[in-house]
């Protein structure tokens, strides 16, 4: 009903209808439960959010909210929200906290950090940003101003390794142009569960004739829309990609002009992929050879083709980085890089990605150069990561905290930090307990904040300002739609106050968030004020998308100036320059002795649509949809073990075990067991060794471990 004039006030209030008579206002904000930041219309009465809806004018989310966003009120007003700064009472093992003032909290934080800096050097304090990510440039600026090189993020285990693989190959990161492509290779991605805003576009493109090839061990909601599903054994993507390259090269389906003029190392690559005949790859991947051939032909013969992979599934393996290089090499091999309907270049920047704006966030972060500071965490083990990502590889934080080598890390300042994301999370917990001072900022009391000496409450997007730039040249600026919960504050205020308490004399921080963003945007000619005029967001007027095929004029930003099948950077570092396939460290093929006792491949960390890492397990609406931690196995494997649906089972790896429920489903391939991460009380990351990792990126092998599932019912 569009006209509500016939309704009584009581009926309108019951229907939560906005208007002067009901006193209900619609205010514009965004959801920050995941990084998509869908637009939200918040219905606010008397300072309380009484209803949320998707904002129709948001060009990225088009008025939709997923189940997590729809449960926003339970998130905002949850009893676990931290309401005041909290100081731990008693020793490290205590779980008691006392409420303190912000003034007191800043004094305590500054005195501890300054003392550690004076005694052990600024590098002994690590700064870490988990989720959300929007504050990263501010924390990095704080970290470098303080004098520490150890800025770390959750990207140490999420997405950055795929970016690293792309940068080593093309010098750029890129994304698929799903609107314009004829064939999409969807590689270990389940957008309907993890990327709802792009899922709509994907299904629309299929409706308009785009051919879809799905690769991955699971049957997903997208599978029924695909021409074919290549159901690989987890951890074998590299072998599959090389076999597709084999078919494409042997059948002369590659882009000869692009390969001859713009690539390096093609002959070595061609010679290497000869080993990966479809038949040979079938025995590694379990994908039938004829399906590999059909997929390779469809991909290469399509006029415009692209690859969309999940942020991390292809790189959460001990062979992940080279596997991902093998996958994305198919884009260049078929001439689909930096072209309409293929892949477009995406700059890594919160403020202009990928909108063609000229911004200076890089300069903003580097308030002080890290040059001359001690080496970053993990740089000795993963020098390529260090060189290209220019941040600490936080997977090594617990090792350095525990060993004190090459120098001590005595304090961590963590924003949205969740130690359960670390491989061997119990190992990370032990390390955090060794710190002299752990300070965390979060919305909720969590397992990590409970370990902390000082806990600071931060706001949700509903309670603070934030700039957001979406792909597709759409941007917005939010203002608070309600008062902060308790004494919580914006992360940015906390960062700038801490900078002041540490007497870092930052001339930009002292002017506040808006002034900092204006400074970052300045070269683009845009100001926050331009966005403020459009509370629900607007199409950006400034900047323009760069043209395609820039490499024809400028080459590629790699050492050779070409797309590199054979990576110069890897070669110079004494590493394998070609995207060579290695078995996962533990697999039925590489470690048959371990596989005898642990015959199933355990893959962890895929998504359920109602959970986003640990963030929404506490919400009644979402938790009710999947209340118990469970391991999913194929009915064939269950029958062999006498396991029935819902049985209590022991899920064990060589490191440890958990007791969970069994869910029998054909969604999971035979020989594979799958478990979601972050379930309270059943942390699957405790089952993986902390050093079970990729040698180049440092990424944990979360998605190809060996395990066994046994009934304990
Ligand atoms: S949690 Fe859902 S509604 Fe919120 S930003 Fe992510 S996709 Fe959008």
Structure confidence at residue 641 as a pLDDT band (50, 70, 90)? very high
Q: What atom in ligand 1 is closest to the CA of residue 70? A: 3
Q: What percent of the chain has pLDDT over 90?
A: 90
* pLDDT, position 604: 96
66 lines ligand 1 (CB under 6 A): yes
Q: How would you label 16-50 residue by residue, b for 16+ Cβ within 10 Å and e otherwise? A: ebbeeebebebbbbbbbbbebbbbbbbbbeeeebe
Q: At what angle do helices 237-250 and 266-273 cross, to 10 degrees?
A: 110
CA-CA distance, 334 to 332, in Å (whole number)? 5
Lowest mean pLDDT among 124-138, 343-357, 457-471, 677-691: 343-357
**Predicted pLDDT of residue 116:** 98
Whether 52 is in the pocket of ligand 1, judged by its Cβ within 6 Å, is no
Mean pLDDT value across residues 66-86: 97
- What is the three-state SS of 235-257? CCHHHHHHHHHHHHHHCCCCCHH
Whether 466 is in the pocket of ligand 1, judged by its Cβ within 6 Å, is no
Q: Under a CB-based contact definition with an 8 Å cutoff, are residues 327 and 241 in contact?
A: yes
- For residue 224, pLDDT beyond 80: yes
Model confidence at 2, pLDDT cuts 50, 70, 90, reads low
pTM reported for the whole predicted model: 0.96
| Closest Cα to atom 5 of ligand 1 | 37
Question: Model confidence over 233-249: pLDDT tens digits?
Answer: 999 999 999 999 999 99
Nearest to 607 by CA among 214, 158, 224: 158
Sorted by where each begins, the domain ranges of the chain are 9-76, 160-348+557-572, 592-711
Instruction: Indicate whether 195 pLDDT > 90.
Output: no
Q: Is the pLDDT of residue 1 over 80?
A: no
Mean pLDDT throughout 307-321?
96
Cα 609 to middle of ligand 1, angstroms: 10
Cα–Cα distance between 62 and 60 in angstroms, integer?
6
DSSP per position, 495-551: HHHHHHHTT---TTGGG-HHHHHHHHHGGGT--HHHHHT-TT-EE--S--PPPS-TH
Going by CA atoms, what residue is nearest to atom 2 of ligand 1?
66
* 353 vs 316 pLDDT, higher one: 316
Q: Which of 136-145, 349-358, 411-420 has the lowest mean pLDDT?
A: 349-358
pLDDT per residue over 393-407, tens digit each? 999 999 999 999 999
For the Cβ of 610 lying below 6 angstroms from any atom of ligand 1, the answer is no
Span from the CA of 220 to the centroid of ligand 1 (angstroms): 19
Residue 197 has pLDDT above 90, yes or no: no
Mean pLDDT value across residues 144-165:
96
Report CA(38)–ligand 1 centroid distance (Å).
5
Q: Which residues pair with 51 in a beta bridge?
A: 43
Secondary-structure class of domain 592-711 per CATH: mainly beta
- List of E strands, 379-499: 411-415, 437-442, 454-457, 466-470, 474-478
* Interval between CA 64 and ligand 1 midpoint (Å): 9
Distance, in Å, from the CA atom of 515 to the CA atom of 521, rounded to the nearest integer, reads 10
Atom of ligand 1 nearest to the CA of 66: 2
- Beta partners for 127? 151, 413
Answer yes or no: is the C-beta of 193 below 6 A from any ligand 1 atom.
no
Inform me whether the pLDDT recorded for 697 exceeds 50.
Answer: yes
Cβ of 68 less than 6 Å from ligand 1:
yes
Q: Tell the residue nearest (CA) to atom 6 of ligand 1.
A: 34
- Is ligand 1 within 6 A of the CB of residue 238? no
pLDDT digits (tens, 9 = 90+) for 252-294: 999 999 999 999 999 999 999 999 999 999 999 999 999 999 9
- pLDDT exceeds cutoff 70 at 3: no
Distance (angstroms) between ligand 1 centre and the Cα of 194 equals 9
Cβ of 81 less than 6 Å from ligand 1: no
Ligand 1 contact via 34 beta carbon (within 6 Å): yes
Residue 61 CA: which ligand 1 atom is closest? 8
CA of 219 to the centre of ligand 1 (A): 23
701: CA distance to ligand 1 center in Å? 27
d(CA 30, ligand 1 centre) in Å = 9
Average pLDDT of the residues in 337-342: 96
In DSSP notation, 374-406 reads PPPTTTTT-HHHHHHH-S--GGGHHHHHHH--S
Residues 161, 163, 169, 172, Cα dihedral to 10°:
-160
What is the model's pLDDT at position 544? Answer: 81
pLDDT in tens, 433-471: 999 999 999 999 999 999 999 999 999 999 999 999 998
Mean pLDDT score, 513-522: 96
Q: What is the pLDDT of residue 4?
A: 77
Class of domain 160-348+557-572: alpha beta
- CA 44 – ligand 1 centroid, Å: 20
**pLDDT for res 452:** 97
Rounded to whole angstroms, the Cα distance separating 505 from 263 reads 48
- 401 CB near ligand 1 (under 6 Å): no
Confidence class for position 33, pLDDT limits 50, 70, 90: very high
Model pLDDT for residues 530-567, shown as the tens digit of each residue: 999 999 999 998 888 888 999 999 999 999 999 999 99
Q: What is the CATH number of domain 9-76?
A: 3.30.200.210
Q: What does the mean pLDDT of the chain come to?
A: 95
């Amino acid at each position: 009903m569009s006209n509500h004039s016939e309704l009584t006030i009581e009926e309108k209030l019951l229907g939560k209808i906005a208007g002067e008579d009901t006193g209900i206002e619609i205010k514009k904000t965004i959801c920050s439960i995941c990084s998509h930041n869908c637009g939200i219309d918040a219905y606010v009465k008397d300072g309380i959010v009484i209803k949320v809806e998707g904002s129709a004018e948001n060009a990225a989310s088009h008025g939709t909210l997923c189940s997590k966003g729809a449960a926003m009120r339970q998130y905002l007003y949850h009893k676990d929200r931290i309401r005041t700064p909290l100081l731990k009472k008693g020793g490290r093992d205590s779980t008691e906290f006392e409420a303190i003032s912000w003034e007191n909290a800043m004094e305590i934080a500054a005195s501890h950090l300054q003392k550690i800096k004076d005694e052990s050097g600024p590098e002994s304090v690590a700064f870490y940003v988990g989720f959300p990510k929007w504050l990263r440039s501010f924390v990095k600026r704080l970290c470098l101003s303080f004098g520490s090189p150890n800025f770390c993020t959750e990207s140490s285990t999420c997405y950055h390794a795929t970016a690293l693989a792309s940068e080593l190959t093309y010098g750029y990161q890129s994304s698929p142009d799903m609107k314009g492509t004829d064939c999409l290779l969807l590689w270990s991605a389940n957008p309907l569960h993890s990327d709802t805003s792009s899922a709509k576009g994907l299904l629309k493109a299929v409706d308009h004739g785009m051919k879809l090839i799905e690769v991955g061990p699971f049957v997903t909601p997208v599978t029924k829309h695909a021409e074919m599903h290549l159901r690989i054994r987890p951890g074998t993507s590299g072998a599959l990609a090389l076999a597709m390259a084999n078919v494409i090269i042997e059948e002369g389906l590659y882009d000869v002009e692009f390969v001859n003029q713009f690539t390096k190392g093609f002959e070595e690559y061609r010679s290497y992929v000869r080993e990966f005949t479809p038949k040979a790859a079938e025995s590694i991947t379990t994908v039938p050879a004829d399906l590999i051939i059909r997929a390779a032909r469809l991909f290469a013969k399509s006029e415009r083709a692209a690859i969309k992979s999940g942020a991390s599934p292809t790189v959460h393996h001990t062979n992940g980085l080279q596997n991902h290089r093998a996958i994305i090499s198919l884009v260049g091999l078929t001439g689909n890089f930096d072209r309409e309907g293929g892949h477009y270049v995406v700059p890594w920047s919160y403020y202009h990605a990928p909108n063609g704006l000229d911004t200076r966030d890089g300069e903003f972060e580097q308030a002080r150069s890290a040059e001359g500071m001690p080496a970053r965490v993990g740089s000795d083990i993963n020098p390529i990561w260090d060189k290209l990502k220019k941040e600490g590889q936080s997977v090594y934080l617990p090792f350095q905290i525990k060993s004190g080598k090459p120098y001590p890390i005595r304090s961590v300042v963590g924003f949205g930090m969740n130690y359960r994301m670390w491989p061997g999370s119990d190992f990370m917990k032990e390390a955090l307990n060794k710190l002299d001072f752990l300070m965390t900022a979060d919305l909720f009391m969590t397992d990590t904040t409970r370990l902390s000496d000082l806990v600071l409450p931060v706001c949700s997007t509903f309670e603070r300002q934030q700039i957001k730039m979406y792909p597709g040249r759409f941007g917005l600026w939010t203002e608070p739609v309600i008062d902060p919960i308790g004494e919580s504050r914006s992360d940015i205020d906390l960062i700038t106050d801490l900078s002041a308490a540490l007497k870092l004399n930052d001339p930009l921080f002292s002017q506040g968030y808006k002034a900092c963003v204006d400074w970052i945007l300045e070269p683009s000619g845009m100001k926050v004020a331009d966005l403020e005029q459009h509370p629900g967001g607007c199409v950006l007027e400034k900047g323009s998308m760069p043209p395609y095929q820039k490499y024809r004029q400028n080459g590629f930003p790699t050492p050779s100036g070409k797309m590199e099948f054979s990576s110069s950077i890897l070669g110079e570092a004494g590493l394998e320059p070609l995207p060579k396939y290695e078995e996962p460290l533990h697999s039925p093929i590489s470690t048959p002795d371990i596989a005898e006792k642990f015959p199933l491949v355990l893959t962890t960390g895929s998504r359920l649509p109602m959970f986003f890492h640990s963030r929404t397990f506490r919400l009644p609406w979402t938790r009710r949809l999947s209340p118990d931690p469970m391991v999913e196995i194929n009915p064939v494997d269950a029958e062999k073990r006498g396991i029935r649906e819902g049985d209590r089972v022991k899920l064990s790896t060589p490191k440890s075990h958990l007791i969970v429920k069994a869910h029998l489903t054909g969604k999971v391939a035979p020989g594979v067991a799958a478990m979601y991460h972050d379930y309270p009380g059943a942390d699957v990351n405790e089952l993986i060794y902390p050093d079970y990792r990729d040698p180049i990126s440092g990424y944990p092998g979360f998605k190809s471990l060996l395990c066994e599932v046994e009934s304990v019912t």
